[in-house]
A and B are shown apart, each in its own frame.
Chain A
């Protein structure tokens, strides 16, 4: 029997991941304060982009609600900090995660959970509507600051140590990014991740095999909501304020751009995309403030049309991008097969 020799070549993704995170580890040590603030923002927004990549790149849910969970987590932590005079990271960040989780569960209950799986368009419009409603609600709600949001947030603390913006805040955000990244990487490469890949490719087939696909989608959606909430919690204390713009559909679209630019379905692509879009946006908007969104739109159009795998697809082959959940086992299987032939 002919053996199929199309095996995975040496994986590229771990090298990109290792290189990027090593760079992130040492970069703030050689940068000026202003640029440390800039890359802190990239790391925090990278977390948010990871949450979008998890739902879009791995399960195929086009969510325009990531900003809602981001801003929801941010508002939750900001309210606790200002109304209860709490500054501890150990209370505020878990509150932000909980805020993101509760909001994502509410949205998932409406658009995802059900006896039969909803269409992709229904989910996209449902999440978009959720974001829009939340933005309008916050704009008119004076208790949470209305249009102005909640300004002058206190600094986060761990015990008696204040985490001021700069190196300390950067390493807090970077440490959390690494933790979340490793957790998600483990999840999407597990047998659970294989089911997610199956749902993304052929959801109907999966339900005929006996998978209740909407439960898988709902759980991943809530998990992504928690990551977005964590990102929001970090962001509002880094920037010192939270406002309705942070839950807006516009911001959700921006997050989708980060992940699609870098390359959805790889996790690391979302972080690269965030850095790329933020850096190019920073430079271009200095010289051509009004033109940056137009240029961004064109770049996205080019990427989506000619390189749907995003920037990372220039160096990472499709086979590796999609996943290799049974790679090692299949190799062992082939050995078993050879043995079977040997005994015959």
Chain B
């Protein structure tokens, strides 16, 4: 079953065509990699999916509902969660407060005003922080975490809403090999929770965790399908070689 379906999505910036008639499907239980050389349109596509940019044409559906022009808030409410390339945690708040913000997002305003869920969410927050190896830093400022830990915190925040589809933009950017390996393990633990669309430069990382791939080049889909098929596709090798 297709959870997320992209049909004929294009995005123009003036005369520049960043995305050109892109199709993509994300199925239940699937980890799908979105790869391509620099400037191929991966992040633009992710932004269109998240609602940070609106496509010039085409449609995006989530469980059959058209979300092409929905706001980020509306997409989040129907189960889409995202971590962008540049970490956007709240550095001046504690790690715990960052998580509390993510966990309480479904509460009503009155409930938030009387701080009704502050205590009841504590165990869930600490469990999630423990899972992402951040429990010991709960009381520290999020801005004092290492780059890799900030990425984990943001993934943890994205997962806290129990999303139906998770979008990750370069979650291992700037990480050490050990942190990258640990991130792969952490993501594989979420396999039963929600399907994942991941934009990544590190091909080895993608091969380790993804079931299927879509390759973009100059805003167009070059190949899409199971990992083994796409890896052996001649057009994919050409796309990468010409940028090498």
Binding site for B on A (CB under 8 A): 1-7, 115-116, 187, 190-192, 194-195, 197-198, 201-202, 204-213, 215-216, 219, 318-319, 322-327, 329-334, 336-337, 340
Contact = CB atoms under 8 A, between A and B. Distances in A.
Contact of A333 (B71, B73, B126): B126
A211 B73 contact: yes
A6 B90 contact: no
A319 B139 CA distance: 12
Contacts of A201: 90-93
Q: How large is the interface on B (under 10, 10 to 19, 20 to 34, 35 or more residues)?
A: 35 or more
B133 interface: yes
Contacts of A216: 109
B136 A209 contact: no
Contacts of B125: 329, 333
A329 B122 contact: yes
Given A116-B71, A198-B101, 20 more contacts: A1-B135, A1-B136, A3-B136, A6-B141, A6-B144, A191-B111, A194-B104, A202-B90, A205-B88, A205-B89, A208-B50, A208-B81, A209-B161, A210-B105, A319-B92, A325-B93, A329-B119, A329-B125, A330-B97, A330-B139
Nearest to B92: A322
A333 B135 contact: yes
A331 B95 CA distance: 12
Contacts of B144: 4, 6
Contact of A207 (B72, B95, B118): B72
A183 B158 CA distance: 33
A269 B90 CA distance: 23
B14 interface: no
A210 B72 CA distance: 7
B77 interface: yes
Contacts of A207: 71-73, 76
A205 B97 contact: no
A220 to B, nearest CB: 11
A211 B113 CA distance: 15
A2 B123 CA distance: 20
B56 interface: no
B194 to A, nearest CB: 15
B102 interface: yes
Contacts of B88: 202, 204-205
Given A1-B133, A330-B138, A197 B73 contact: no
Contacts of B50: 208
Interface in B50-71: 50, 52, 71
21 contacts: A4-B136, A4-B137, A6-B141, A6-B144, A190-B113, A192-B112, A195-B101, A201-B93, A205-B88, A207-B73, A210-B105, A215-B109, A322-B93, A324-B94, A325-B93, A326-B118, A329-B119, A330-B97, A334-B136, A337-B126, A337-B135
Interface in B97-117: 97, 100-102, 104-107, 109, 111-117
Contact of B113 (A192, A215, A330, A337): A192
Contact of B130 (A211, A325, A337): A337
Contacts of A340: 130, 135
B157 interface: yes
Contacts of B52: 204
A338 to B, nearest CB: 9
A343 to B, nearest CB: 12
Contact of B118 (A197, A212, A323, A329): A329
B155 interface: no
Contacts of B72: 204, 207-208
A210 B141 contact: no
Nearest to A211: B105
Contacts of B82: 208
B117 A191 contact: yes
Contacts of B225: none
Contacts of B122: 329, 332-333, 336
A190 B220 CA distance: 48
